[in-house]
C-alpha cells in the first residue's frame, strides 16, 4: 500500500551525513530534514492562549519510519504530536502557526477538512480508550463512518485484518461481540491500535501508548510497532528511553517547547551532540 522503495535507514543516514551542515534548522542540532518525508513541519509555534508551548519547531517525519519524541515532562511533546492531526483544534484556546504539510499538502490550509486528515493520520492515546461498545463495533466504527466497506462481508474482513495486524485476533476472535472495555489494559491498547489502522491511515501518532501497561504488554506493543512500520509511518511520544531506542529509527529531543536535537536513534543515544540531550539521556535531568 505504501511504496516499498523507501530508503533503508543506513542509506539515508549516509546521505544525511554528507549534507549535515546545511540540513540543520536554526536552534536545532542534527538533521531535521529527511529525503523522503511523509510529513514536514516548518517553523511551528503553538500557543495556549497567551502562553507559548512550542517554539519554532521544524521537523520531518520520514516515510515508513518510526520517529520517537522524548523530553522532560511538560516540554510540549504531546502538544507537537497533536498538531500533526489537528487534534489541538478541539482545544479552544490553542493556536498553531507555521506550516505542516502531509505529502506536500498543507494540513492547516483553510480549505482542508480535518475529517479526511484524521482518517489518514490516526492516533493512539496514552490511556486505552475503547468505545463502550463491542470489540467488533470498535474496529468497524471508523470504516463505517468513512464508508470504506461495501457490505457486511467486506467489513468483517476489515475487522479481522485489523485485529490480526494488531496481534489481537487470536485472543478475541471468539468474543467479538463482547464489550471492548472488558479486555485487559494491554489488549485494550492493541484494540485501539487496531481501530486506528482499520481506516488504513498513512501515519499513526502514539502518545505514550505503553505508559499504562505492564512490561509484557509493553513488549507486545513494541513488537507490533516494529511490524507496523512496514506499512505505516509512526510518530511516538515516550518517556522510556529504552523504548525509544528499541522501536524508533529517528529520535527528537524536546526541551521547554524547543526541539533541541534530532538524529538517528543510535547516534542520539550513543553520542548526543547537544549538552541538554546528553544530560537527559544520561539521567542527569528529567
Partner 1 sequence: MNNQQQHQKTMERVQQGLDRRYRKERHFRWLGLGAIILGLLFVSFLFITIISNGYTAFQQTYVKLDVFYDPEMIAPIGETDPEVLSRANYGGLIKASMRQMFPEVTNRREKKVLYGLISTGASYELRNAVMSNPALIGSKAEVWVVADDDVDMLIKGHIDLRLPESDRRIKDNQLGWIHLLQEQDRIEKRFNTTFFTAGDSREPELSGIKGAIAGSFFTLLICLTIAFPVGVAAAVYLEEFAPKNRWTDLIEVNINNLAAVPSIVFGLLGLAVFINFFGLPRSVPLVGGLVLALMTLPTIIIASRAALKSVPPSIREAALGIGASPMQTITHHVLPLALPGMLTGTIIGMAQALGETAPLLMIGMVAFIVDVPGSVMDPSAVLPVQIYLWADSPERAFVERTSAAIMVLLAFLISMNLLAVWLRKKFERRW
Q: Name which position in 48, 141, 169, 285 contacts ligand ATP (CB under 6 A).
A: 48
Q: How far is the CB of 131 from ligand ATP (least distance, A)?
A: 23
**Of residues 113-152, those binding partner 1 (CB under 8 A):** 114-119, 122-123, 125, 127, 129-132, 141-142, 145-146
Backbone angles phi, psi at 252, to 5 degrees: -120, 135
Pairing relation of β-strands 203-207 and 51-62? unpaired
- Alpha-carbon distance of 207 to 79, in angstroms, equals 10
What track of x and - describes contact with partner 1 for positions 189 through 218 (by CB under 8 A)?
A: ---x--xx-xx-------------------
Footprint on this chain of Mg ion (rule: CB under 5 A)? 78
Whether the CB-CB separation of 186 and 213 falls below 8 Å is answered with yes
> With respect to partner 1, which residue has the nearer C-beta, 7 or 124?
124
Q: Pick left, alpha or beta for residue 217 (phi over 0 → left; psi -120 to 50 → alpha; otherwise beta).
A: alpha
Minimum CB distance to partner 1 smaller for 11 or for 145: 145
Phi, psi (rounded to 5 degrees) for 158? -60, -45
Q: Tell me the closest approach of the beta carbon of residue 75 to Mg ion, in angstroms.
A: 9
Interacting positions 16-35 with partner 1 (CB under 8 A):
none
Question: What DSSP designation does 24 have?
Answer: P
209 binds ligand ATP (CB under 6 A): no
Contact predicate 34/62, CB 8 Å: yes
Q: Which is nearer to ligand ATP, 194 or 213 (CB)?
A: 213
Q: Which does 158 bind (CB under 5 to 8 A by kind): partner 1, ligand ATP, Mg ion, none?
A: none
**Is residue 75 close enough to count as binding ligand ATP by CB under 6 A?**
yes
State in angstroms the smallest separation of the CB of 26 from ligand ATP.
Answer: 21
Q: How far apart are CA 200 and CA 119, in angstroms?
A: 8
Best CA proximity match to 265, nearest among 47, 30, 6: 30
Q: State the binding string over 71-90 for partner 1 (x if CB under 8 A, else -).
A: --------------x-x--x
C-alpha span between 280 and 286 (Å, rounded): 6
- Contact present, 7 and 36 (Cβ < 8 Å): yes
Among the listed ranges 69-77, 103-111, 180-188, 195-203, the one in contact with ligand ATP (CB under 6 A) is 69-77
Span 85-114, contacts to ligand ATP by CB under 6 A? 91
* CB contact set of 153 (below 8 Å; sequence gap of 6+): none
Residue 77 sits in the site that holds ligand ATP (CB under 6 A)? yes
Sign of CA dihedral 152, 158, 131, 133: positive
Q: How far is the CB of 180 from partner 1 (least distance, A)?
A: 10
Enumerate binding residues for ligand ATP (CB under 6 A): 48, 53, 71, 73-79, 91
Amino acid at each position: 500500500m505504501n511504496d516499498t522503495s523507501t530508503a533503508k535507514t543506513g542509506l539515508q543516514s549516509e546521505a544525511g551525513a554528507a549534507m549535515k551542515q546545511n540540513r540543520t534548522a536554526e536552534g536545532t542540532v542534527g538533521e531535521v530534514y529527511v529525503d523522503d518525508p511523509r510529513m514536514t513541519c516548518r517553523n511551528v509555534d503553538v500557543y495556549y492562549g497567551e502562553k507559548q508551548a512550542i517554539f519554532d519547531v521544524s521537523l520531518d517525519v520520514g516515510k515508513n519510519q518510526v520517529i520517537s519524541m522524548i523530553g522532560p515532562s511538560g516540554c510540549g511533546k504531546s502538544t507537537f504530536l497533536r498538531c500533526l492531526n489537528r487534534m489541538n483544534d478541539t482545544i479552544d484556546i490553542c493556536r498553531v502557526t507555521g506550516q505542516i504539510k502531509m505529502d506536500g499538502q498543507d494540513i492547516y490550509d483553510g480549505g482542508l477538512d480535518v475529517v479526511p486528515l484524521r482518517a489518514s493520520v490516526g492516533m493512539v492515546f496514552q490511556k486505552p480508550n475503547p468505545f463502550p461498545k463491542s470489540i467488533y463495533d470498535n474496529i468497524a466504527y471508523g470504516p463505517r463512518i468513512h464508508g470504506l466497506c461495501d457490505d457486511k462481508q467486506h467489513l468483517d474482513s476489515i475487522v479481522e485484518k485489523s485485529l490480526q495486524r494488531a496481534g489481537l485476533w487470536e485472543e478475541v476472535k471468539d468474543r467479538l461481540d463482547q464489550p471492548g472495555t472488558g479486555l485487559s489494559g494491554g489488549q485494550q491498547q492493541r484494540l485501539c491500535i487496531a481501530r486506528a489502522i482499520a481506516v488504513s491511515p498513512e501515519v499513526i501518532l502514539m502518545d505514550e501508548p505503553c505508559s499504562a501497561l505492564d512490561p509484557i504488554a509493553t513488549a507486545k506493543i513494541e513488537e507490533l510497532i516494529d511490524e507496523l512500520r512496514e506499512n505505516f509511518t509512526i510518530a511516538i511520544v515516550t518517556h522510556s528511553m529504552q523504548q525509544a531506542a528499541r522501536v524508533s529509527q529517528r529520535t527528537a529531543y524536546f526541551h521547554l517547547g524547543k526541539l533541541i536535537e534530532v538524529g538517528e536513534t543510535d547516534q542520539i543515544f550513543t553520542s548526543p551532540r547537544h549538552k541538554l540531550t546528553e544530560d537527559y539521556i544520561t539521567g542527569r535531568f528529567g
